[in-house]
Amino acid sequence: MKPFVCLFTLFLLTISLNAQHNIVEDGEGEKHEHEHEHETFKKHHTISAMMAFSYIPSIVPGEIDRKIVIVPTWGLNYSFWFHPKWSVGLHNDIILQQYKVERHHDQEEINRSYPIAVKAVVLFQPIPDLVFLAGYGKEFEPNETLDVITAGVEYGIPIRKGWEATLNLIFDWNIDNYVSFMFGLGFAKNIYVNKQ
């Protein structure tokens, strides 16, 4: 639990520091947002790769020989931005662990072995760099395929030439089974449809 709390604190701190960085003072002391107000929107694709940790509260300690409920996860995501505030995408995660979880509705234990989640998502960006997402998909695994509802928030930190670093906090609900919280750090590349 402690690593999850530390990562979440780092996430909030980074958002706060970057938000202060994007507000600059001009010569007359007036504050305005840096760059984003003057950019013209262009439709674009975004591809991102993410390293993450998933916190699974209902994991059953046993074969792993530890009581930790945080497991390593990789993500590979695609989004198409057709509007300055709206996007659709496909988000994919793989948990790099074998584990058992206890179903919520009947307390039965189920085995999960390197499950892969594929989720169709809608993304909304109310302010520059901050994105909310929600969607539905499937978690594929040799023993059983589960339905997944996902929701989350992503914060992008522009680097240069269409690249940005991302911080992600995602909640997955495997319907009638178990939940997981994922915190990830990644890199994204914007590929513009019409380069001008």
CATH class of 2-31+43-192: mainly beta
Domain definitions of the chain by residue range: 2-31+43-192
Residues near 104 by Cβ (< 8 Å), separated by ≥ 6? 58, 176, 177, 178
Nearest Cα residue to 46 out of 17, 3, 72, 75: 75
Question: Is the pLDDT assigned to residue 29 strictly greater than 70?
Answer: no
What is the spatial distance between Cα 8 and Cα 163, in angstroms, rounded to a whole number? 23
Task: Tell me the pLDDT tens digit for each residue of 69-108.
Answer: 789 999 999 999 999 999 999 999 999 988 888 887 777 8
Nearest Cα residue to 178 out of 120, 116, 108, 122: 108
Share of residues in the chain with pLDDT > 90 (%): 56
Nearest Cα residue to 95 out of 135, 131, 58, 50: 50
Q: Are 23 and 40 in contact (CB under 8 A)?
A: no
* pTM for this prediction: 0.76
Q: Where does the pLDDT of residue 11 fall: very low under 50, low under 70, confident under 90, or very high at 90 and above?
A: low
Q: What's the pLDDT at 33?
A: 42
Q: Are 152 and 132 in contact (CB under 8 A)?
A: yes
